Amino acid sequence: MYTPRFTMSRRVLTAAAGATVLALSLGACAATPGGPAERPSQGSDTTGDAKNPFGVAAGSTVDAVIFDNANNVAFFDTVTPTMQELHEVDLKVTPSTQIAQQVQPRFVAGTPPDLLHSAGSGSIPVASMLPDIEDLTSVTNAMNLDGEPIADTLYPGVLDLAKYDGKLAAVNYSLNVHAMWYSKSMFDKYGWEAPKTWDEAMELGAAAKKEGKYLFTWGKEGSAYYLSLAIDSAVKEGGRDVLASLANLEADSWSQPEVQQSFTALKEIVDAGYFIPGGAGTQFKAAQAQWSLKQEALMYPTGSWIEGEMGDEIADGFEMVGAPAPTITTQSALPYEAMRFAGGNRFVVPSDAANAAGAKETLRVMLSPDAAAEFSRINKSLTIVKDTVPADGFGSTSLVSARDLLDNAGENAFAWDFTDAYPFGDDKTRIWNDFLSGSIDVDTLTSEMQKLSDKIREDDSIVKIKVGK
C-alpha cells in the first residue's frame, strides 16, 4: 500500500503572526477500495444497544451548525426525518458561511454546537480544536442502520486522514478524487484520448490548437491546481520518496529529478501557447467556465467537486469524466492509473456538547448507505462509504468517473495536502500565476518553491509532521 506515515509532535501550532494552524492529513494514506478498513477497538461511550449505541434521549434536540450552501441544507433535510423516526429527535440545523466567526465564541463560552461541520473559507481547522472535540472512533465502530460495522463499509485509509496521535478527531464525510477533467463527448467527436504521458499531452495540445482550442486554462485563485498536478505526476514517476522529501520540507526537495521533469513538461506546454492567455487576471470560476461552458480548453485539473461547483455553467451534453495525472515516462514507479484522493466536509463533535450522543447518532445515520447515497445524489460527490453510487451515478458522468478512477487505482491511490497544511498560502498562488503566465522559468519556479519550504522548515513556531518513506 502506498502509505507514507506521519506523526504529530504537538497538537496545535501557531505561526509567528498568530493563528496559522496546521490542517490534517499532511501525510498520505492509501485507499484500497477492494479491502476492509482497519477497525480499532470499540470506544467507551457506547451503550451496547446496536439500535441506540450512544444512548440518545428520545425527544432531545441536536444542535448542528453546517456550512451554508444549498446542497448541504438539502442533504440535512433528508437526515432530519430519519432522526425523528428512530428516536423522535429534532435536528436543528443552522447554516453559516462564517463558521469560525459564529462558533468560536460558543466554544469559549462552553456552549458549542452538538455537531459542527467545519468547512468553507471561514472554517476552524480541526487541529486547533483537538483538546475540545471528541474521539469519534466509537461512531465508526458502531453498526450502521443496516446492521453492518460502519468501519467495514468505508474506503480504507480515509479514517487515517483525520487521526491525530491515534485520535479520530473528525469524520471527513466526502471523498474527492483529483484528476484531469474533460468532455467525453468532445474527445469522442475529435477522436482524442486523454494523455497518459506529458509527451502525449503536448501532442494533444497541438491537436487542440488546430481546432482553435487550448489544452488548459487557469484562473488567478486556482493557479496552484497545476502545482498539484505537477506533484501528482512527480510522485507517480518517482514513488513515495519523492512525496516524503517534499512533505518533509527537505532542502533541495523541489530539485528532485522527477519534480524537475514535471515542471519542465508544464513549462513546455506554457511556452507552446497551449494555455488560454490571461489566467492571472481571470477569476477562477470564469476561467473554469472557459473549459466547461465555452469549451475553449480541453482539460482542467482539479477535484471531483468540479461538476457541483460549476452547476449550470456546463455545456449541454458535456459528459464530464476524469483522467489520472500524466506520468513522465512509461516506466513510472506507480502506474498511470494511480490517483490522488482527499477527504472533505469534516464533521466534529465538541466535548462540551449538550447532546454529544445525539450528534454521534446523526453521524451514524449519515454513514449508513441510504444517507450516503442521498448525499452523492445531491452533491454529485462520493462519500467515504463504499458502494453507494449506482451504475448510472444518478445521471452524473463525473460521479461515475470518480468512482471508477478510485476503483481502478486500488492500492495505488494516495493522498497529500502539505501545500495547504503548511502556510504556503498566497505565495504559491502568486508564484504559479507567474509561471503559467510565462514570466518565470523552471529554475526560478524551483528556487521560489524551495524558499517557501525552507522558510516553513526553519520556523520553529510551526509544528512539523514527519512523513515516512
- When pLDDT is cut at 50, 70 and 90, the band that residue 161 belongs to is confident
pLDDT confidence bin for 5, thresholds 50/70/90: very low
On the question of pLDDT at 38 being above 70, the answer is no
Q: What is the CATH number of the domain that holds 78?
A: 3.40.190.10
Instruction: Please indicate, yes or no, if residue 298 is contained in any of the structural domains.
Output: yes
pLDDT of residue 351: 97
- Kindly state whether residues 185 and 167 are assigned to the same domain: no
Query: Could you tell me if 66 and 118 lie in one domain?
Result: yes
Whether 166 maps to a domain, the answer reads yes
pLDDT score of 129? 87
Question: pLDDT, tens digit, for every residue of 404-435?
Answer: 999 999 999 998 888 887 888 889 999 999 99
Whether residue 327 is found in the same domain as residue 287: yes
Residues 281 and 350 in one domain: no
Report yes or no on 22 lying in a domain. no
pLDDT at 344: 85
Q: What is the Cα–Cα distance from 160 to 39, expressed in whole angstroms? A: 11
Alpha carbons 288 and 21: distance in angstroms, whole number: 29
Residue 32, pLDDT above cutoff 70: no
Considering the domain architecture, whether residues 347 and 297 belong to the same structural domain is answered as: no
Give the mean model confidence (pLDDT) for residues 164-179. 92
Closest CA to 125 of 170, 63, 184, 176: 170
Same structural domain, 141 and 242 = no
Domain annotation covers residue 21 = no
HEC readout, 336-374: CCCCEEEEEEEEECECCCCCHHHHHHHHHHHCCHHHHHH
Q: What is the pLDDT of residues 203-214, one digit of tens each?
A: 999 999 999 999
Residue 118 pairs in a beta bridge with 346
- Give 174's contacts (C-beta < 8 A, 6+ positions apart): 305, 343, 344, 345, 375, 379, 381, 382, 383, 384
Residue 453 has pLDDT above 80, yes or no: yes
Residue 446: pLDDT over 90: yes
CA distance 80 to 99: 21
Q: Pick the last residue of a domain from 351, 367, 396.
A: 396
Q: Is residue 12 part of a domain?
A: no
Q: Are residues 440 and 429 in the same domain?
A: yes
* Shared domain check, 118 and 169: yes
Residues 6+ apart with CB under 8 A from 342: 25, 161, 175, 176, 178, 303, 415, 417
Q: Which pLDDT does position 121 carry in this prediction?
A: 67
User: pLDDT above 70 covers what percent of the chain?
Assistant: 90
Q: Is 56 among the domain residues? A: no
| Average pLDDT of the segment spanning 455-465 | 87
CA distance 238 to 283: 34
Mean pLDDT of 118-145: 89
In which residue are the cell numbers 478512477 written?
Answer: 405
What pLDDT digit, counting tens, does each position of 107-129 carry?
999 999 999 998 876 788 787 78
Euclidean distance between CA atoms 37 and 41, whole angstroms: 13
Domain of 318 in residue numbering reads as 177-340+417-458
Q: What does the pLDDT read at residue 260?
A: 98
Residue 13 counted as domain residue: no
Q: Report pLDDT digits (tens) over 342-385.
A: 888 999 999 999 999 999 999 999 999 999 999 999 988 999 99
Residue 412 within a domain: no
Summarize the confidence of residues 430-451 as an average pLDDT.
Answer: 98
Q: What is the pLDDT of residue 45?
A: 67
Please give the pLDDT value at position 388: 94
Q: Please give the mean pLDDT across all residues of the chain.
A: 88
Q: Tell me: do 311 and 323 sit in the same domain.
A: yes
244-276 pLDDT per residue, tens: 999 999 999 999 999 999 999 999 999 999 999
Between 8 and 185, the more confident residue is 185
Q: Which amino acid appears at position 335 of this protein? A: P
| Residue 264 sits in the same domain as residue 356 | no
Lowest mean per-residue pLDDT among 117-131, 277-291, 303-317: 117-131
Residue 158 sits in the same domain as residue 182: no
- By the 8 A CB rule, do 288 and 314 touch? no
Q: Are residues 187 and 335 in the same domain?
A: yes
The count of structural domains within the chain is: 2
CA angle, 453 then 414 then 231, to 5°: 40
